Amino acid sequence: MKKILLFVSLIMLTSGLFAQFQIGPTAMLNLQLTGEDVQYIAEEGASVVNELSIDDFTFGVDTRLNLGLLQIGAYGLFSPGYDLSNITDGATIRAFFDAGVTIDLFILRLSAGVGPSMDFLLSENADSTETFDAGFNMKISADVQLGGIAASVVYLTDVKLTVEDISKAFQNINGFVGVSLLFY
């Protein structure tokens, strides 16, 4: 028993020595991945960019803790007006937590993770009675590491779980495509 405890302590100590904490700002474009939206973007092309407003973006902070092949992350995001889950069109604060794997390839770091997500509605709409929503998220990211700075491209999904039918949660997957600038 003492040997096992010593072994686990040694592993935790060595992984702690090589841990890397990253934090930085992030900006993301709100996307709802339905067949109609993808077809619309494909048909309209570059003219879709002219239709974007501040309500189509989400801003916040990206934090990550890398422990060898394990990555633990959290996003704190603010959406000024457009709510993807169609609860309301009011401002929303979102929290995403995930744990997953990460692989370093020279200056490129690839990672993927899953975890819980929470939405807190700040301004209520007359049509809405919900101010809190929960679900889970899936994240993939690619980072280019340059010294103490990493530029990251992120795709983050926000899947809402429903009691009635879990399969319905995957029909309209809400997503965010964005960039983060991480410092460590």
On the CB side of 51, CA atoms within 13 Å amount to 7
Question: CA 141, CA 177: separation in Å to the nearest integer?
Answer: 10
The third-level CATH classification (topology) of the domain covering 19-183 is: Porin (2.40.160)
Average pLDDT over the chain, rounded to an integer:
79
Ordered by start, the domain boundaries in the chain are 19-183
Give me the phi and psi of 23, to 5 degrees please: -150, 145
Name which of 117, 114, 106 is nearest 71 in CA terms.
114
Ranges of residues in the chain with a pLDDT under 70 are 8, 10-17, 32-42, 44-50, 82-89, 123-130, 161-174
Distance between CA atoms of 157 and 40, rounded to whole angstroms?
20
DSSP type of residue 55: G
- CB-CB contact of 82 with 119 (8 Å): no
